[in-house]
Amino acid sequence: MSGTLVLLRHGQSDWNLKNLFTGWKDPDLTEKGVEEAKGAGQRLKAAGYRFDLAFTSELSRAQRTLTLALGELGQSGLETIRNIALNERDYGDLSGLNKDDAREKWGEEQVHIWRRSYDTPPPGGESLKDTGARVWPYYIHTIQPRVLRGETILVAAHGNSLRALVMALEGMSGEEIVGEEIATGVPIVYRLNADSTVAEKTVLSA
Ligand SMILES: O=C(O)[C@H](O)COP(=O)(O)O
């Protein structure tokens, strides 16, 4: 057995609440999002986790979620590496549009394909495959070596940057990833084997 990797999607953002495509836009957390982030930290603490290092994106909602969770863990000030590679999928021309308005304009099926398919990008944006092409190398070169050293690592990021990571970690196909949803503020814990495969997965739901 090797180290532990914990993935945490940010708490509810203002644009999640307003049902807007967000991508690389930078809204803050809502009050509910703040509570979700704190709750994630409390559950990690109750389960006995202590982190050696954290990673997050260049976007405020993930950074703030990390700060709030670390506060609950009593680990404020933990060494944290921010990188744009962990940013949310770029939603391109959809960014800022209401998701229900988009369904009315382009149809339910097309919008679902843009949101959940593996390799169909939204107009002017990234497919999940494109997102994975930056998330996965960053994981392999920068995050995974620390986990394989036996460390406990926290990654606070986004619904689709984490879907890309989960897809690769669990060896999911382009069809399987369509049904994968990452909840806000719910830590996903992976214990890795020394050969980097997943030994055990635990979801710390509320
Ligand atoms: O960028 C966004 O709009 C959300 O964070 C995730 O959106 P999705 O649920 O459409 O993947």
Structural domain range at position 36: 4-90+129-203
pLDDT in tens, 78-121: 999 999 999 999 999 999 999 999 999 999 999 999 999 999 99
**Ligand 1 atom nearest 99 alpha carbon:** 10
Is there a binding annotation on residue 12?
yes
Residue 103 placed within a domain: no
CA angle in degrees (0–180, nearest 5) for 168-90-39: 70
Residue 159 placed within a domain: yes
Residue 84 placed within a domain: yes
Residue 57: per-residue pLDDT? 98
CATH number at 183 reads 3.40.50.1240
Is there a binding annotation on residue 43?
no
Q: Of residues 72, 88, 126, 158, which has the active-site annotation?
A: 88
Residue 44 placed within a domain: yes
Q: Which one-letter amino acid corresponds to residue 31?
A: E
Residue 61: per-residue pLDDT? 98
Residue 27 placed within a domain: yes
Name the residue at shortest CA distance from atom 7 of ligand 1: 21
| Number of domains present in the structure of the chain | 1
Cα–Cα distance for residue pair 45/57, rounded to 1 Å: 23
pLDDT 10s per residue in the chain (206 long)? Answer: 689 999 999 999 999 999 999 999 999 999 999 999 999 999 999 999 999 999 999 999 999 999 999 999 999 999 999 999 999 999 999 999 999 999 999 999 999 999 999 999 999 999 999 999 999 999 999 999 999 999 999 999 999 999 999 999 999 999 999 999 999 999 999 999 999 999 999 999 98
- Residue 88 annotated in active site: yes
Strand 152-157 to strand 188-192: parallel, antiparallel, or no bridges (unpaired)?
unpaired
Is pTM beyond 0.80 here?
A: yes
Residue 107 placed within a domain: no
Helix (H) or strand (E) holding 82: strand 80-82
- For residue 35, the CA-to-ligand 1 centroid distance in Å is 20
* Residue 90 CB less than 6 A away from ligand 1: no
- For residue 19, the CA-to-ligand 1 centroid distance in Å is 9
Residue 151 placed within a domain: yes
